[in-house]
Amino acid sequence: MSDNKRVVLITGGTKGIGKEMGLMFAKHGDQVVITYGWGSIEEEDVIKEYTSRGLPAPMLKQADVINNEDTTELLTEIKNKFGRLDVFISNVAFSNLIKKVDDYNEGNLLKSIEYSCWPMIEYTRRAKEIIGAYPKYVLALSSHGPDRFHKNYDYAAATKSLNEVLVKYLTYHFYDEGIIFNVLRTRPVITDSLTSTVGKEWKEFIEKYDIPGTHVELEEVAKVVYMMTSGLMDAVRGQTLIADKGYDFLEGLQRLYIDKDELGL
């Protein structure tokens, strides 16, 4: 393949933010590799979504991010087809909903960490073992859940926070290898995954009381991710960047108070 055509692996890249990131990389001529869970998609539908836009078809691979055999098979196939891996986006996140303290369970918390945090480390190390080189860019996604309360979001917030800490240490450990680890944190992005966590009523509430135009859209997230892995931001390493349109500063009771007349409060 062409030397300037990068290979980009996105775990869980068939829906929501992952899907939009894949389309963004493909728009810039990159070869996208997408993993998905068993029974979650029809491969033909995903490929058609790319090709109907004139984009190169992605490589699709059913793979569980915590299954060692799946990881080996995936990376071996990437090596055989493309001979390289340039960008790894750790996008899979899994956590149980926590509605009360009795829902806390050690095994479930560890499972959330295993799905949401461990692939950033394991895929990076295994890429060197199987493909022969580390990806230059490794990126994980976060939210402002570590800093503020969200309904049912305990485990999700905990894993986001862990990723934000790990990228700092991974940057230190892999510094001489030239790998660029970062995290992108966004305001809540309306996806099926989010509404299944916090509830459909939350979406209706936000649409009623939020300021129009302050939502971070899927394409906007994808653009920031692309920029972070484009080579133009290589001086930024081990950081959590925030894409919030500057709105987090205005959020809260004070904003509701200021806009109470317009909101009918």
Tens digit of each residue's pLDDT (9 = 90 or more) over 73-131: 999 999 999 999 999 999 998 888 899 999 999 999 999 999 999 999 999 999 999 99
pLDDT at position 39 is 67
Q: How far is CA 250 from CA 114, 207, 221, in A?
A: 35, 16, 20
First to last CA, the chain: 59
CATH numbers and ranges of domains, the chain = 7-263 (3.40.50.720)
| pLDDT at residue 2 greater than cutoff 60 | no
Extract long-range pairs of 73-79: CB within 8 Å, 24+ residues apart.
74/9, 74/33, 74/35, 75/123, 75/126, 75/127, 75/130, 75/131, 76/130, 78/7, 78/9, 78/33, 78/131, 79/130, 79/131, 79/132
Asked which of 4-18, 122-136, 192-206 is least confident by mean pLDDT, the reply is 192-206
The tens digit of pLDDT for each residue in 51-61 reads 999 999 999 99
| pLDDT at residue 198 greater than cutoff 70 | no
pLDDT at position 193 is 67
pLDDT at position 192 is 67
pLDDT at position 196 is 64
Nearest alpha carbon to residue 8 among 19, 18, 22, 28: 22
More confident residue, 24 or 2: 24
* Euclidean distance between CA atoms 184 and 164, whole angstroms: 9
Query: What's the token pair of residue 213?
Result: 């135009």
pLDDT at position 100 is 93
Query: Rounded to the nearest 5°, which phi and psi values hold at 62?
Result: -75, 120
- Global pTM reads 0.92
More confident residue, 209 or 138: 138
The tens digit of pLDDT for each residue in 201-254 reads 777 887 788 877 778 899 999 999 999 999 999 999 999 999 999 888 888 888
Mean pLDDT of 30-34: 97
pLDDT at position 1 is 53
Query: What is the number of other CB atoms lying within 10 angstroms of the CB of residue 81?
Result: 13
Mean pLDDT of 20-39: 94
More confident residue, 245 or 3: 245
Q: Which residues pair with 142 in a beta bridge?
A: 185
pLDDT at position 102 is 95
The tens digit of pLDDT for each residue in 145-195 reads 899 888 888 999 999 999 999 999 999 999 999 999 999 999 877 666 666
